[in-house]
Amino acid sequence: MRPTLLRNMLSKFAPIGRMFMQKIKEQKSEKRKRKGGPRIGSEKFSEGWVEFLKKRHAKQVAALLNNQPMGGKKKSKFHDCLWNLKYLSRFKWIHLVERLGYERAVLRQRMQNEISQAKRVASFFKDTVDREERQRRKAKAKAKSNNGEAADSPDPGPSSSYVFTQRKTAEEKKAKRGDVGSAVTQEREKFLKSLFS
């Protein structure tokens, strides 16, 4: 039942102020709306609150209509439905607004918790993958260094997890270059020795 129809039906008995109706969450209709399909039927509501302008009228309407057929035209789909009305004593409209705000806050908090949980799971997975990748690289480098040490010397020392590459000494560089420029360097060394000796 739409809110306008409900307002028209109840305003016959007493003047009405504010009205709020709680929608039913239907997954199928939500999916249909998201996909852009046609909407079948009107929106459905599970419950509603009606504020009458006078307390006396609210009590009378609740007593008069509770558990009575809605009536109306025979063709109406609500003709055989029963009213289910209850007068809520000491209930103010602000209580309803606070409750709805609280429900929205709880829903928002639940969504934030789910999002943060998903982020934690994703970051944990990423950290685990990164850690395994680092360990794999270390193991590969260690295996390479162990293979190189085994080829160089028969008795390798205690293995460390770090691999250091040392710079070559001047003699190693000279030996690698070969005889090119060795005569020039020998002359320079002789000249320098003669100066400083």
Which of 75-79, 102-106, 137-141, 150-154 has the lowest average pLDDT? Answer: 150-154
- Whether residue 108 sits in one domain with residue 122: yes
Provide the residue range defining the domain that includes 98: 92-149
CB distance 154 to 172 below 8 Å = no
Query: Which pLDDT belongs to residue 179?
Result: 57
Q: Are residues 108 and 136 in the same domain?
A: yes
Based on the structure, what is the number of domains in the chain? 2
Helix (H, G, I), strand (E, B) or coil at 110: helix
Tokens 């602000």 belong to residue: 94
Q: Tell me if 65 sits within 8 A of 81, measured CB to CB.
A: no
State the Cα–Cα distance between residues 90 and 156, nearest whole angstrom.
88
3-state DSSP call for residue 53?
coil
Residue entry with tokens 């193991």? 139
Residue 178 lies in a domain: no
Last residue of a domain, one of 90, 120, 141: 90
- Residue 184 in any domain: the answer is no
Residue 114: per-residue pLDDT: 94
Q: Could you tell me the pTM of the whole model? A: 0.48
Residue 105: pLDDT above 90?
yes
Q: What percent of the chain has a predicted confidence (pLDDT) above 70?
A: 80
- Tens of pLDDT, residue by residue over 2-36, are 888 888 888 888 899 889 888 887 665 666 666 66
> What is the per-residue pLDDT for 30?
66
Q: Calculate what percentage of the chain has a pLDDT beyond 90.
A: 20
| Residue 42: predicted pLDDT | 63
- Beta bridge partners of residue 49, listed in sequence order: 20
Average the pLDDT over each of 72-86, 156-170, 183-197 and give the range with the smallest value: 156-170
Tens of pLDDT, residues 145-176: 887 665 555 554 555 567 778 888 887 877 77
| Same domain for 121 and 97 | yes
